Amino acid sequence: MSLSASPTFDAVAEDDPGVARIGPNAVLQLVEALKARDLADLIGPLFRHAGAADWLEAPPGAMVDERRVARLHREVRTVLPAGEANATLAEAGRRTADYILANRIPAPAQALLKVLPAGPAAQILVRAIRANAWTFAGSSRFEASVSGSQAVFTLRGNPLCAGEIAGEPLCVWHAAVFQRLFQVLVSRRTLVVETHCEARGDDRCRFVADWRG
């Protein structure tokens, strides 16, 4: 795990009104995921190389520049072995979902979803995700639908894998957010798979949540 071969990015201005933004948990929960996986010693170097050291000094409390988040997630994938990088970003995604459950979805709404059959619960949850897509989709175009025992989420122009080239889907952070929300609120049997990824040359990042078990 060396940062010596990884380029250091310059910080970019945060006050440009034309910059698309996503929620700060894409940053905050990555820090917690690195700590949870005994990688705390890499937090400082990762953030410095990604041009995001200021986020360690003053953790963001509002929407942040999607380009800087993309750099940070890319740095994780560059520095860590593929399996460790995926596990770390997935942990960050799960923690982001847990934050949403603890702070953004009212307890009565969660209680209702948990007693509904999976299909109706999924329809309601997908509508809520669609309504709040601005918090994680940034500049991408987000679509979501439910059919039978599956929900499909699509990002076109996904900022968190922009410019990346890979042989397999990269967007484990998004997949983990969706999976955790569905496992808690729709069915604990839910699995989310990224079937298409722009980093792999596909025209979209596509995620399928399936709760058939």
pTM metric for this prediction: 0.91
Q: Judge whether 191 and 167 are in contact, CB under 8 Å.
A: no
Identify the pLDDT of residue 213: 65
Identify the pLDDT of residue 17: 62
Identify the pLDDT of residue 4: 40
Q: Quick: pLDDT tens for 18-48.
A: 789 999 999 999 999 999 999 999 999 999 9
End-to-end CA distance of the chain: 37
Q: Judge whether 186 and 117 are in contact, CB under 8 Å.
A: no
What the chain holds in terms of domains, given with CATH numbers, is 106-210 (3.30.1380.20)
| Segment 190-209 mean pLDDT | 98
Task: Evaluate if residue 14 carries a pLDDT over 90.
Answer: no
Identify the pLDDT of residue 176: 98
| Distance from C-alpha of 158 to C-alpha of 72, rounded to nearest angstrom | 15
Q: Which helix (H) or strand (E) holds 196?
A: strand 191-196
